[in-house]
Structure 1
């Protein structure tokens, strides 16, 4: 809900479930530096024509466009556009930077094929996005702005404020690129723990919303396998196949550890979290429950 806080403060304490709530529209990312101001929707912002063209092309290709700015910085930059591209839905996710003189200098079709455009330079450090989009939802600014400043002080050069990432009820929201890992209801302590874990190739399950770009039931299946096995490496758990059976989703989930690879049959079902007494969330929060988790025996040959 734009310009308002639909979910009162008690919803942002970490008591409500956040699992399996990362956006499905985060397979590929276009990030454009723009100090603002930011309107409720990015297409309504006062943007250079080149930025508008890139955003339009990104939408057509299924790339998620975001505006970004350095925490606390509101002055406009001069010169060509400053953009980042991220590919989360590839075997080896990557992040790249570019300063295109015109939209035609940036080959977005290469991005959706998982290929780094020639005009881009790979970035080795991770990027941390904190949603501070107050015109979209007041909670995102109220909770996101101080978190972005705190993270920027502790991880200089790696943190950006960004426009709406999805899931206002989970503010403050943190996104770790290039893998597209989502965290919600973040305190300063939880955020710095998640960021430091990601820098070491690991996931913190507490307040982990899931991995962007895959359907929510598959995010849930990955989450439950991580909780069951204790595997926290970013690439250590992945859904290999899935099918729907009524309201349930049946998945085969691979888990790779230092001891080898195992697979699990995981069945998840949608449910609704009802706020207990003392919490003031207006509505129940959709989430998932684990119906079955069982090891799959390897097939003999």
Structure 2
């Protein structure tokens, strides 16, 4: 049965709870597999052909995040099925600078997944399994078995975005932060947005097409620790620098970050703050981050 507890969490789905610094911290490499459903609560519990199950197992061993995707408005037969791989980080695990990337391939048989080098994906290297994807991919969580709110708010949003942006929009399984439904993930950079209606989602998607973020309902960038996401957010809000690659957190030590925005560098101190609970058994992260101070390096404090 779908978990709908977040519907009773104060501020859920209203924008009243701040959603900054809430993007999933454990995802920089991605494997997206078209699967029309039904989706069980946990992706790994899906009854799958052996080649697909094997790919999921290999992805897990390499730390690649797996998402099932499907086209809004009905199901299409598979195979053929679309498979995407990607990397969201600016830096590979070995420290190499990386430009975020996506590759796509339409399989004619699941057995083709055996040729996918998931170790390369995890390392930030395009595996050459598919063709490069030049534009954004927009994922809307519509995983009703995981949380009813995601289906109730996410599925209509995915349909609306598909009408505007076409085949780059997919419904997807759980992305984290059910209480922020409807959730949008913009790949390849892994930008997370939550508490979205159609107007805000379109604004976020349009901005991403132009290489920018929108701070309204911006949850952060996947793969980064929450304090780093918070420091980025506060510097963007202060400076107005919205280019996706325009703000870089250079270091973070004990809640104090050095952040570059354009040609300027800032020191910003962030602190985790509780938001209160939503009832027994709630597994959601009910915390946010607040700015304690922000200063232009070698300059006066900006509070």
Query: TM-score over 0.5 for the alignment?
Result: yes
1:141-198 deviation digits (Å, cap 9, x = unpaired): 0110100000001111110000000010110000000000000000110000000000
Answer yes or no: is the 8 Å Cα contact 2:86–2:126 preserved in 1: no
Aligned Cα root-mean-square deviation (Å): 1.7
SS at match of 2:167: coil
Answer yes or no: is the 8 Å Cα contact 1:22–1:209 preserved in 2: yes
1:246-297 deviation digits (Å, cap 9, x = unpaired): xxx11111111xxxx111111100002359xxxxx55893000101110113
Structure-to-structure mapping, 1:103-182, within 5 angstroms: 103-182=113-192
Is the aligned partner of 1:199 residue 2:201?
no
SS at match of 1:84: strand
For 2:176 and 2:187, the matched residues in 1 are separated by 15
For 1:225 and 1:155, the matched residues in 2 are separated by 30
1:113-141 deviation digits (Å, cap 9, x = unpaired): 22111222100010000000000111100
Q: TM-score, normalised by structure 1?
A: 0.90
Offset of residue 99 of structure 1: 4.0
Structure-to-structure mapping, 1:198-217, within 5 angstroms: 198-217=208-227
Q: TM-score, normalised by structure 2?
A: 0.89
For 1:74 and 1:4, the matched residues in 2 are separated by 24
Answer yes or no: is the 8 Å Cα contact 1:25–1:63 preserved in 2: no
For 1:73 and 1:238, the matched residues in 2 are separated by 40
1:195-226 deviation digits (Å, cap 9, x = unpaired): 00000000000000000001001000000000
Q: Which residue of 1 aligns with 2:57?
A: 56
Extract unaligned runs of 5+ from structure 1: 276-280
1:26-64 deviation digits (Å, cap 9, x = unpaired): 111000001011000011112221111111111111110
For 2:249 and 2:176, the matched residues in 1 are separated by 23
Moved more, 172-181 or 98-107: 98-107
Equivalent position to 1:237, from 229, 247, 250: 247
SS at match of 1:201: coil
